[in-house]
Amino acid sequence: MKYAVIAGALSLFSITAAANQTSLLSYDYAEVGYAKTDIKSNDKTDPDSPRYSGYDGYVINLSKQLFENWYATGSYSQSRVDYSSTTTFTSFAPLPDGTYPSSMTNSYHETTDMSLTRYNVGFGYIQHFSRETSVDYALKYGKSKVKTEETLAHRLESDGNVFDVSKTNYERSETVDSFEVTAQIRHLLTKQFEVNAGVGYKRLHGAGAGYVGLHDAESENNLLLKVGINYAITNKITFAASYSYTDEYADIAAAAFRYYF
C-alpha cells in the first residue's frame, strides 16, 4: 500500500512536470478594461436600492510568471459615481425683513461625487494538470478607498424675489485594507476559448462603518466567487470578461483586452 501511494505521488508529479513544459496557458500578460462595482452597504451603489447607479471606471491587471510554478500579480482600478437630488417645499414663515409673503419656497439641491480607488498585489503558485488545464493559488494584499464630495445648495425665494442663497461643501473618505486568498481553475475548451472560475476568502480591516459604508467595523471573512471567459483574437491579444462576487461587499463586472508577452 505504501508503495502504491508513493507511486501515485510520483506519477502526479511527473504529469505536472510534463504539463509545465507544454502548457498552453500563459501567466505573462497585461490587461486593461472597463469595470463596474457595486457596494452593497451604500444606498447609491447597492443594486437592490431604488437609487442605484453603481461605480463605473477602468481596471488594470498585471501577471508575470517568475519561476516554473510561481507568479506575481497586481491590480489597480479607479471608478466613480455621480448623482444629485433636489428637494423643494413651501411655507409661510416670516421673511428676514419681518413681513409675511403669500408663500415662501425653500429649495435644497444636493450633488454628490463618489470615487473608488482599489489596488492589490500578491503572488501565487501554478499547478498544470495538462496542456489545457491549470489550477493556481494566490495570496493578495490590497487597499480600497472611497472618497465622497458633497455640495448642498440652499435657495430661499418668494414671489420671484430671492432672499437667500447659500452653499456648503462636505468631504470625507474611508480606507480599508484587504487580505485575499483564492484558488482558480483555468481550462481551454479550444485554442481560442478559455473558461475559468475561482473561489476564496477576502477579509477587510480599516475605518469601519462610516458614511460611505465600505464594510462593518471588523468584517468577517467574505466569500469570494469569480467566473470568467477569455477569447483569443490573435496569438497575443485576448478579450477577457469576468464577474466577481464578494459576500456583502461588492459585485464587480469587468470587460478587458489582455496582451500576452
Q: Has this prediction a pTM greater than 0.75? A: yes
* HEC profile of the chain: CHHHHHHHHHHHHHHHHHHHHHCCCCCCEEEEEEEEEEECCCCCCCCCCCCCCCEEEEEEEEEEECCCCEEEEEEEEEEEEEEEEEEEEEECCCCCCCCCCCCEEEEEEEEEEEEEEEEEEEEEEEEECCCCEEEEEEEEEEEEEEEEEEEEEEEEEECCEEEEEEEEEEEEEEEEEEEEEEEEEEEECCCCEEEEEEEEEEEEEECCCCCCCCCCCECCCEEEEEEEEEEECCCCEEEEEEEEEECCCEEEEEEEEEEEC
Whether the per-residue pLDDT at 20 is higher than 80: the answer is no
pLDDT at 11 over 50: no
Per-residue confidence (pLDDT) for residue 57, from 0 to 100:
96
Domain boundaries, the chain: 2-260
What pLDDT shows up at residue 31? Answer: 98
Q: Which is higher by pLDDT, 46 or 223?
A: 223
Report the pLDDT value the prediction gives residue 220, as an integer from 0 to 100.
61
pLDDT in tens, 147-204: 999 999 988 887 777 877 888 998 988 888 999 999 999 999 999 999 999 999 998 8
Cell of 115: 470615487
In this predicted structure, what is the pLDDT of residue 162? 80
Q: What pLDDT is recorded for position 105?
A: 83
Mean pLDDT of the 212-227 span? 69
Confidence band for 211, pLDDT divided at 50, 70 and 90 = very low
Higher-confidence position of 158 and 236: 236
Query: Per-residue pLDDT for 9 more than 60?
Result: no
- pLDDT at residue 30 above 90? yes
Domain 2-260 class in CATH: mainly beta
**pLDDT of 55-110, one tens digit each?**
899 999 999 999 889 999 999 999 999 888 888 877 666 666 666 656 778 888 88
Average pLDDT over the chain, rounded to whole? 83
| pLDDT of 18 higher than 60 | no
Of 1-10, 40-49, 196-205, 218-227, the least confident: 1-10
pLDDT tens string 42-59: 555 555 555 556 889 999
Are 132 and 84 a contacting pair, CB within 8 Å?
no
Highest mean pLDDT among 35-44, 174-183, 224-233, 239-248: 224-233
pLDDT digits (tens, 9 = 90+) for 100-139: 656 778 888 889 899 999 999 999 999 999 999 999 999 9
